[in-house]
Amino acid sequence: MSFLEAIMTNSLLFSALLAGLAASIVSGIIGSYVVVKRIVFISGSIAHSVLGGIGFCLWLERAKGITWASPLLGALAAAVLAALIIGWIHLNYRQREDSVIAAIWSIGMAAGVLFISQTPGFNVELTNFLIGNILWVSTSDLYILFGLDFIVLITVLCFHTRFLIICFDEEQAQLQGLPVNFLYILLLILTAISIVLLIEVVGVILVMTMLTVPAAIANLLTSRLSRMMWIAVGLSILFCLIGTGAAFHLDWPAGATIALIAGITYVTALVLFPHSQSILHKKNDIKKTACD
Amino acid sequence: MSAAVAVKNLSFYYQKMAILKETSFQIQPGEFIGIIGPNGGGKTTLLKLIMGFLRPSHGTIEIFGNPPGTGPQQLAYVPQTVRFDPQFPISVLEVVLSGRLAHLPWYGRYSQKDKQLAGQALQKVGISESFYQQAYGHLSGGQAQRVLIARALVSDPQILLLDEPTASVDSQAESDIYHLLNELKGTMTILMVTHNLKTAINYVQRVLCVQGNVVSLKPEEVCEHFGIGLYHTPLINLK
């Protein structure tokens, strides 16, 4: 059976691709901010501290019988909490920022491991969250994913111009009377939401690849942030499609296959264009200069 | 009429180290001031205090009678171009439009008037329309500096602060920038941090020497050694 036939007949595979689409939209948009603002390390910390929330909710669900405490909810709460703490540290304790961020990274993961050790039974959900299983996405998860997508898109539509300047020159934004601290925290919260969406697809361990690689490749191709986002979304969708297809044929884990294809594409782009920044734009610049 | 900038008994400590101590001075509207001093003397700290990015440890600063950052938008700042990431994906027009952020509506789209004003500011600094969509990071040092000046001008400021605007530009660009600032002289208050006093002294009306405290000098009083970057006491040219 071909991959296309399988998509038509297998609802699990179709849901997986929809989840990939939902995650690709935010990974392209928010990933672009993460790359240009150079907050990849902060995003890594948020992504790994999510494990604390997942572990806590699994423990509540299994050991305490609290059924509404789903791992996805735990992941979302932990990601937003980590974003708020890191944002506060960034604004108040810049001297030791990287050390404190690393500590949050470790504390989140440690809390997750401890809660999981106290949770009875074999935790399939945990494995899925760690290494990703796009085929595991349920219909309600899809609603949540597209709902979060909608929130991120609307926020970015209204705040993109402000985010652009916050990323480029915070002092100019402050001088123009923009609430710089609020916008920075908002950007971190959007990053946290995106991370949770991406964890559904590629898992905690591989989430940084999907958040940063499509945007980093896009940055090689253009010198406009808005175009960079479109290209990154397109690349992300492509990686999800090819990765899921390859995983289907080779019987490999989908998340790891998607991340591997993205990573190899980035390395190839860097090897092919070692000194190039914004290839497409440079070509346009040369044409323009020639016209001048 | 209140002073453009009034500083009274200003002290600023970073942790326990005094950067500025018991400093007082005034700058009148329309003055063109050169700010000089050795590295670490407190020039950038002084600019950041005036912009309201830092809070004084003691004393007060007033911008047209108001504490920094509380009155209507009156300040524009031209930083050094070298601090920006050359790979950052932003166009020349987007950089200049950011000078109109204070007028941005909630839905985050610049108006036609903002775009028109940005075009006029770019024209004023001699950047042609063919550069508007070009990546800011691909400009030469002189072009990039002029774009930052356009960004400052588009906000229609009453006080223009410049941090070494000719530090990373060639001699032609330096001459263009001084020519532009000379045209602006009198239309707004200009405070320019510079290490190139030899050229700047021909344009500025007063020099503030910042080295822990602030000493105000007339251009003719400044020792010629400052022009080649030798800071020493006495500051005044004894003839």
Residue A138 scores a pLDDT above 80:
yes
Average pLDDT over residues B185-204: 86
Domain boundaries, chain B: 1-74+158-239, 84-156
Which chain A residues are within 8 Å of B101, Cβ to Cβ?
A: 161-162, 165, 172-173, 176-178
Tell me which chain B residue has its CA closest to the CA of residue A275.
B87
8 Å CB contact between A104 and A78 = no
Per the document, the length of chain B is 239
For residue A197, the tally of other CB atoms under 10 A from its CB is 29
Average pLDDT over residues B210-236: 70
Would you call B130 and A292 a contact, using CB atoms and an 8 Å cutoff?
Answer: yes
Q: How far apart are CA A38 and CA B133, in angstroms?
A: 24
Which chain A residues are within 8 Å of B75, Cβ to Cβ?
A: 175
Interface confidence (ipTM) of the complex: 0.87
Helical (H) or strand (E) element with A161 = helix A139-168
Please spell the DSSP secondary structure of A17-85, one letter per residue: HHHHHHHHHHHHHHHHHHHHHT-HHHHHHHHHHHHHHHHHHHHHHHHS--TT--HHHHHHHHHHHHHHH
Extract the tokens encoding A24.
Answer: 């690709």
Percentage of chain A lying above the pLDDT 90 cut: 51
How do the residues of chain B divide into helix, strand and coil, expressed in percent and rounded to 5? 35, 25, 40
Of the candidates A103, A126, A121, A136, the one whose C-alpha atom is nearest the C-alpha of residue A53 is A126
Would you call A224 and B135 a contact, using CB atoms and an 8 Å cutoff?
Answer: yes
Of the candidates A198, A267, A159, the one whose C-alpha atom is nearest the C-alpha of residue A24 is A198
Q: B130: which DSSP letter?
A: G
How do strand B5-14 and strand B17-27 relate by DSSP bridges?
Answer: antiparallel
Predicted confidence at residue A289, as pLDDT, reads 43
Q: B27: which DSSP letter?
A: E
Would you call A171 and B79 a contact, using CB atoms and an 8 Å cutoff?
Answer: yes
Residue B142 scores a pLDDT above 70:
yes
Measured CB to CB, residues of chain A less than 8 Å from chain B are 36, 38, 157-162, 164-165, 167-169, 171-178, 219, 222-225, 227-228, 277-278, 281-282, 284-285, 288, 291-292
What superfamily does domain B1-74+158-239 belong to in CATH? Answer: P-loop containing nucleotide triphosphate hydrolases (3.40.50.300)
Tell me which chain B residue has its CA closest to the CA of residue A179.
B102
What are A36-54's pLDDT values in tens digits?
A: 999 999 999 999 999 999 9
Which chain B residues are within 8 Å of A284, Cβ to Cβ?
A: 134
Predicted confidence at residue A288, as pLDDT, reads 44
Q: How far apart are CA B122 and CA B119, in angstroms?
A: 5
What are A191-248's pLDDT values in tens digits?
A: 999 998 888 778 887 889 889 999 999 998 888 999 999 999 999 999 999 998 998 8
Which chain B residues are within 8 Å of A282, Cβ to Cβ?
A: 138
What are A81-107's pLDDT values in tens digits?
A: 999 999 998 888 776 788 888 999 999
Q: Give B101 to chain A, closest Cα distance, Å.
A: 6
Predicted confidence at residue B233, as pLDDT, reads 54
Average pLDDT over residues A107-116: 91
Tell me which chain B residue has its CA closest to the CA of residue A224.
B89
Would you call B102 and A177 a contact, using CB atoms and an 8 Å cutoff?
Answer: yes
Residue B93 scores a pLDDT above 60:
yes
Task: Say whether the peptide bond before residue B56 is cis (omega within 30 degrees of 0).
Answer: no
Residue A121 scores a pLDDT above 80:
no
8 Å CB contact between B40 and B17 = no
8 Å CB contact between A18 and A76 = no
Gyration radius of chain A over CA positions: 20
Residue A116 scores a pLDDT above 70:
yes
Average per-residue pLDDT for chain B: 87
Residue A222 pairs in a beta bridge with none
Residue B10 scores a pLDDT above 90:
yes
Average pLDDT over residues B78-84: 85
Which chain B residues are within 8 Å of A178, Cβ to Cβ?
A: 101
Residue A254 scores a pLDDT above 70:
yes
Would you call A173 and B79 a contact, using CB atoms and an 8 Å cutoff?
Answer: no
Predicted confidence at residue B115, as pLDDT, reads 96
Residue B18 pairs in a beta bridge with B13
- Domains of chain A in sequence order: 3-291 (1.10.3470.10)
Q: Give A77 to chain B, closest Cα distance, Å.
A: 28
Q: How far apart are CA B231 and CA A60, in angstroms?
A: 68
Would you call B89 and A225 a contact, using CB atoms and an 8 Å cutoff?
Answer: yes
The strand ranges marked E within chain A are none
Q: How far apart are CA A178 and CA A226, in angstroms?
A: 21
Instruction: Provide φ and ψ at B218, rounded to 5°.
Output: -80, 155
8 Å CB contact between A177 and A169 = no
- Return the residue in A217, A222, A223 with the most chain B beta carbons within 10 A, the one to mutate for interface testing: A223
Extract the tokens encoding B136.
Answer: 């800011």
Extract the tokens encoding B124.
Answer: 């004023």
Of the candidates A46, A230, A20, the one whose C-alpha atom is nearest the C-alpha of residue A146 is A20
